[in-house]
Chains A and B, each alone.
Chain A
C-alpha cells in the first residue's frame, strides 16, 4: 500500500516534489487518477512511513495539497481511500 498526496493544481505538485526531493524524501510522481479527482494533474506517491515527514515538510514550506489517499493495488484497478485526517490539509 502507498500513500498518495493530491494537489489542487500542477504548480503545487511541482513545488511539493521539489520540496520533498530537497528534504531527501522519495516521492514518485503519478497522474492523478480519475477516481481521485476529475481532470488532469499530478499526485505524489510515497511509502506510508514517509507520509508524516512529507506532510510536515509541505506544511513548513507552505505548499498546499488537497488531500491524502491510501492506494491499494488490486486486480482490476487500484483503490484509493481518502484519509480524513488530511482532508483539509495544507496551507
Chain B
C-alpha cells in the first residue's frame, strides 16, 4: 500500500492527495501521514463518503498515521452501508447557506453582528430548513462556545441541518477546540456540497 507524507501540508491537500492515491490503477488503499487531528477527521469524512475503510493511530505528538482501504473495513461500515454510499455526486436540490463572516453585510460591523444573529434565527422559522449551513473565516466564530448563535444553530441541527465549520478557519482563529455545534469540515467537502446544492445563499 502506498504511503504519502502529508506532514506540514495545509487542508485540503492531504485529502486531495489521498484521493489521487486511491484513484491510481490497482490501488487497494493508502497510508497518509498527517500532523493534526483535523486532517485525520477530514480524511475520515472522505473515506466514509466513499465507502472506504478507515483507521488511524497517533504516533508521537503531532504525528498521525491514517490508513484508508478500499472495501469493507474491519469493524467499520457494513457492506450494506458501503453499498448505499453515493457513487457519484448528484445535485440534491437542497439549500446550502455559506456564511463567511461573523457579521451580515457591509457598513457597520456592530449592526452586522446583530443582523447575522437575526438572520440565523430566521432559518429556524422556515418550514423547509436548509440542507447545510457552512461557516467560513470569521463565520467560524458563530459555531463556537460563547457565541449567542449556538442555541439557534443547535435547534437547526435538530431540524436536520448540517452545521459545518471550516477547519482551516477554526484553526487560524485558535477556536477548533471550542466548537460548540456541528462538525469541522474541509474545503473539499465544502466545494462538494455547494456543487451539489440546488440553491446556494452566500453571505
Contacts and interface: CB of A to CB of B under 8 A. Distances in A.
Q: State whether these chains interact.
A: yes
Contacts of A27: 148
> B interface, by DSSP: helix, strand, loop or mixed?
helix
Given A10-B111, A14-B111, A42 B118 contact: yes
Interface residues of B, number: 12
Contacts of A26: 148, 151
A28 interface: yes
A29 B117 contact: yes
A58 interface: no
B122 interface: yes
A42 B118 CA distance: 7
Contacts, number: 34
Interface string B28-41: 00000000000000
B149 interface: yes
Contacts of B117: 28-30
Interface in A1-45: 10, 13-14, 17, 21, 26-31, 42, 45
Interface of B: 110-111, 114, 117-118, 121-122, 125, 148-149, 151-152
